[in-house]
Amino acid sequence: MARPKNQTPETPETDAEYTATYELTSLMTEECISLITPGGASNPPYLASAGVLVVLILYIVIMGDSANTLACLAGAGIAFALIYMGSHYRESQQKRLYNNGLDAVRLPSDRRRFTVNVWSDRVEVTDGFGEMEAYPLTDVKKILSSDQMIVLSMKDGGLVIIPRKALSLQRFTACKALLQEATGKSPKH
């Protein structure tokens, strides 16, 4: 797993603002993949392919009959490669989940229990193997959320899942607000 080194909590575990303990399920894994995989026009490879196609069309229009056939074929090849990557983007995000130890299908059932402690300055995750990882909230790249979960996407590629079912609705909403305030990032739906 590509995660930061274990860090010792600065305050005892009982002082966490929010504690969420849950059993990771395949439904949670699917919800997380749906949140971290942008669809349609916001899919990065699709956006890049659209950019390449626009440049290619402009090149052909501007150059007219003197357009280099090899350059046109290369541009088209790059665009098609990016479209292919875009159609497989979900699989790359699934691999990201697996690399972070969050693929419920591949984890043994006795290793699916997670505890997430949220402080005003960090998040600590104890995974199903008993290993604790600490992430400063300054390392949060994005907050993704739905009615069912919050996913913190870290700058180093790490992921933290906080499911709604592990907290009351009021605490879930308050936890999301604390994360938004502490990171300065609005949750994306």
- Both 160 and 139 in one domain: the answer is yes
In a domain, 2, yes or no: no
**112: closest CA among 2, 26, 16, 32?**
26
**Phi, psi torsion values for 122, nearest 5 degrees:** -160, 165
Number of domains present in the structure of the chain: 2
The CATH number that applies at residue 118 is 2.30.29.30
The pLDDT, as a whole number, for residue 171 is 95
The pLDDT, as a whole number, for residue 189 is 66
* Tens-binned pLDDT, residue by residue, of the chain (189 aa): 444 444 444 444 458 899 999 999 999 999 998 888 876 667 788 889 999 999 999 998 888 888 888 988 999 999 999 989 888 888 888 888 888 888 888 888 888 999 999 999 999 999 888 889 999 999 999 999 999 999 999 999 899 999 999 999 999 999 999 999 988 877 776
In a domain, 178, yes or no: yes
How far from chain centre, in Å, is Cα 160? 8
**Burial annotation 120-139 (CB, 10 A radius, 16+ → b, else e):** eebbbbbbbeeebbbbebeb
The pLDDT, as a whole number, for residue 40 is 62
- Both 120 and 28 in one domain: the answer is yes
Yes or no: say if 12 and 154 are a contact pair by the CB < 8 Å rule: no
In a domain, 8, yes or no: no
Domain boundary among 23, 58, 92: 92
CA atoms of 183 and 142, how far apart (whole Å): 9
Q: Is 156 left (phi over 0), alpha (psi -120 to 50) or beta?
A: alpha
- Both 29 and 53 in one domain: the answer is no
Q: Which domain holds residue 66?
A: 40-92
The pLDDT, as a whole number, for residue 165 is 94
In a domain, 6, yes or no: no
- Both 158 and 128 in one domain: the answer is yes
pTM: 0.74
- Both 52 and 131 in one domain: the answer is no
